[in-house]
Amino acid sequence: MSIGVPDTHYALSGRLNIAYQVVGGGPVDLVYVPGWVSHLELAWELPQLVDGFERLASFSRLILFDKRGTGMSDPVPASELPTLEQRMDDVRAVMDAVGSERAVVFGASEGGSMSMLFAATYPHRTVALCTFGCFAKRLQARDYPWAPSWEARVKTTEHVEQYWTTGLGWDDLAPSLDPGGLAELSRYFRRCASPGAALALMQMNTHVDVRDVLPTIRVPTVVMHRTDDRDANVEEGRYIAAQIPGARFVEFPGADHTWWTQDRDAILDEIAELATGVRPAPQSNRVLATVLFTDIVGSTERIGELGDHDWSELLARHHAVVRRELERSKGREVNTAGDGFLAAFDGPARAIRAAVAIRDVVHALGLDIRTGLHTGECEQVGERFDGIAVHTGARISALAGPGEVLVSATVRDLVAGSGIVFEDRGEHELKGVGGRRIYAVLDS
């Protein structure tokens, strides 16, 4: 099968144009989420990668795209790191543009982190999840010892910055290639993004941490990894598979981090089996969401000061401005109890910015609110949200002082690269929930 270079099209994601291609016409849609950097048209100059694309397109309608800031998609300022949330928006924009309601999502390397978050957040749009050579966290921690240390990441970043134009040397990414193949791969990566964009993506990836998301993934999943991968330790793949309910882990021999340069057909066999052998799963009522709680501070005292009639008018104005900000931020009002709101968002950065906006417009009315946010798995029954994530958000909100926006560590980790600044408020024991590290939003 030889299909040639497909036409490149563009989907609008917010204000940015995201480049995409569609290849093949199989019965299932498959979105390929590339790793660090990519270039839709130059990728068709790499014979081994082309063979991989053609095989994927033999059993699926293959959807390829360049992430914002790379390849043929619109550039972004180096100072504006693309977040996982924005990348999810890009995938949805491309899927909508091609009329894809549900797709298998295949994420490679750092593309896997966003793919895992996408599958948890949008299970109704994800048929199945495949990952290769992925990590859940990019910095070493006591409970995640396989990732690089901070010093190692700094050294890698400095190496990329120094040798971007003269040849990076890709022995660690694809040691099975001969010198000619390595040179070809190096040329490809250097043409995929500007030095500033490549470094910005590396900085964002350094702070990625999706560990809390893994247990909330409810779609059929296969996690693939090579035994001697030098960029992402095989133990990271084993950890990811162990944390995702029902996930299958498949280990391949070799050391290449790139999926298309070793045992390509065996890897594609796993994807084909998952993509074509999965019956439509029952619609799950569990979804990953960011919940936001607000509560007016000192409402009892204000009622005494204003009287029932004036308080009712002020409360109506409060409700109106909160609902206006929720609509602007694509938040969903879940419940209004007295003078407080519970809202749900499909992205934590959007939720934080909505919380800050709500705090400010409410303050202009002469009111102060306390706000708490948490990202976790929620049970959705009709318009109602329930589950431990909801209770966690409520407990965090109760800790906030007047005008404070407090978030869990999960929220903080998921908005890495967003530019949002936090202050560590330490570990707190939340009733019925357990210990959680809490952060205050300082600048959004």
367 in Cβ contact with 323 (< 8 Å): no
For residue 418, the model assigns a pLDDT of 82
- As a whole number, mean pLDDT of residues 329-343 equals 88
CATH number at residue 31: 3.40.50.1820
Instruction: Please tell me whether residues 102 and 123 are part of one structural domain.
Output: yes
Instruction: Please provide the average confidence, as pLDDT, over all residues in the chain.
Output: 90
Distance CA 134, CA 401 (A): 39
The number of residues in the chain equals: 444
Q: What is the mean pLDDT of residues 311-336?
A: 91
Q: Mean pLDDT across the stretch 105-112?
A: 95
For residues 262 and 310, the answer to whether their CB atoms sit within 8 Å is no
Q: Backbone phi, then psi, for 209, in 5-degree steps?
A: -155, 100
Among 113-117, 238-242, 273-277, whose mean pLDDT is lowest? Answer: 273-277
Within a 10 A sphere around the Cβ of 25, how many other Cβ atoms? 9
Please report which confidence band the pLDDT of residue 157 belongs to, taking 50, 70 and 90 as the band edges: confident
Work out the widest C-alpha separation in the chain, in whole angstroms. 81
Residues 127 and 237 in one domain: yes
Residue 283 has pLDDT above 70, yes or no: no
| 127 touches 278 (CB < 8 A) | yes
State the Cα–Cα distance between residues 399 and 76, nearest whole angstrom.
Answer: 37
Strand extents, DSSP E, 55-211: 61-65, 103-108, 126-132
Which of 163, 194, 181, 232 has its CA nearest to residue 71? 194
What's the pTM? 0.83
What pLDDT was estimated at residue 185?
Answer: 85
- The reply to whether 272 and 302 lie within a common domain is no
Per-residue pLDDT averaged across 234-262, rounded? 95
Instruction: Please check whether residues 263 and 390 belong to one and the same domain.
Output: no
Tokens of 372: 């708490």
Q: Residue 297 domain-assigned?
A: yes
Q: Which residue has the higher pLDDT, 180 or 28?
A: 28
pLDDT in tens, 346-397: 999 999 999 999 999 999 999 999 999 999 988 877 777 888 899 999 999 9
CA distance linking residue 417 with residue 414, whole number of Å: 9
Same domain, yes or no: 264 and 115? yes
Residue 206 to residues 104, 110, 140, 350: CA-CA distances in angstroms? 26, 10, 10, 21
Tokens of 125: 């749009």
pLDDT per position as a tens digit, 71-86? 999 988 766 777 888 8
Whether residue 305 lies inside any domain: the answer is yes
Same domain, 56 and 139: yes
The verdict on residue 1 lying in a domain is no
DSSP calls for 327-360: HHTT-EEEEEETTEEEEEES-HHHHHHHHHHHHH
The helix (run of H) or strand (run of E) holding residue 263 is none
Is 98:22 a contact under the CB 8 Å cutoff?
yes
Are residues 205 and 352 both part of a single domain?
no
Q: Percentage of residues in the chain with pLDDT exceeding 70?
A: 96
Residue 134 domain boundaries: 9-277
Q: Which two tokens stand for residue 228?
A: 């001697």
How far apart CA 403 and CA 424 sit, in angstroms, is 17
pLDDT tens, position by position, 44-78: 999 999 999 999 999 999 999 999 989 999 988 76
Domain-ending residue, one of 277, 311, 333: 277
Which residues have C-beta within 8 Å of that of residue 143, sequence separation ≥ 6?
Answer: none
Q: Residue 2 domain-assigned?
A: no
273 and 304 co-located in one domain:
no
Q: Give me the residues paired with residue 18 across strands.
A: 11
Which of 277, 301, 335 is the last residue in one of the domains? 277
Say what the pLDDT of residue 364 is.
Answer: 92
Q: Answer yes or no: is 4 within a domain.
A: no
Give the whole-angstrom CA distance, residue 371 versus residue 355.
7
Q: Is residue 374 part of a domain?
A: yes
Residues 164 and 232 in one domain: yes
Provide mean pLDDT across the span 106-122: 95
Instruction: Give per-residue pLDDT as tens, 134-152.
Output: 999 999 999 999 999 999 9
In angstroms, rounded to a whole number, what is the distance separating the alpha carbons of residues 395 and 152? 37
Could you tell me if 272 and 291 lie in one domain?
no
Instruction: Give residue 107's pLDDT band: very low, low, confident or very high (50, 70, 90).
Output: very high
Establish if 375 belongs to a structural domain. Answer: yes
More confident residue, 190 or 134: 134
Domain count, the chain: 2
What is the C-alpha R_g of the chain? 23
d(CA 428, CA 222): 36
Tell me, yes or no, whether 431 lies in a domain: yes
CATH number where 353 lies? 3.30.70.1230
Residue 433 has pLDDT above 90, yes or no: no
Rounded to an integer, the average pLDDT of 214-221 is: 95
Quick one: 322 and 266 in the same domain?
Answer: no
**Domain end point (choices 222, 251, 277):** 277
pLDDT of residue 203: 80
Q: Which of 296, 273, 262 minimizes the C-alpha distance to 371?
A: 296
- Asked whether the beta carbons of 318 and 312 are under 8 A apart, the reply is no
pLDDT above 60 for 280: no
Same domain flag for 160 and 258: yes
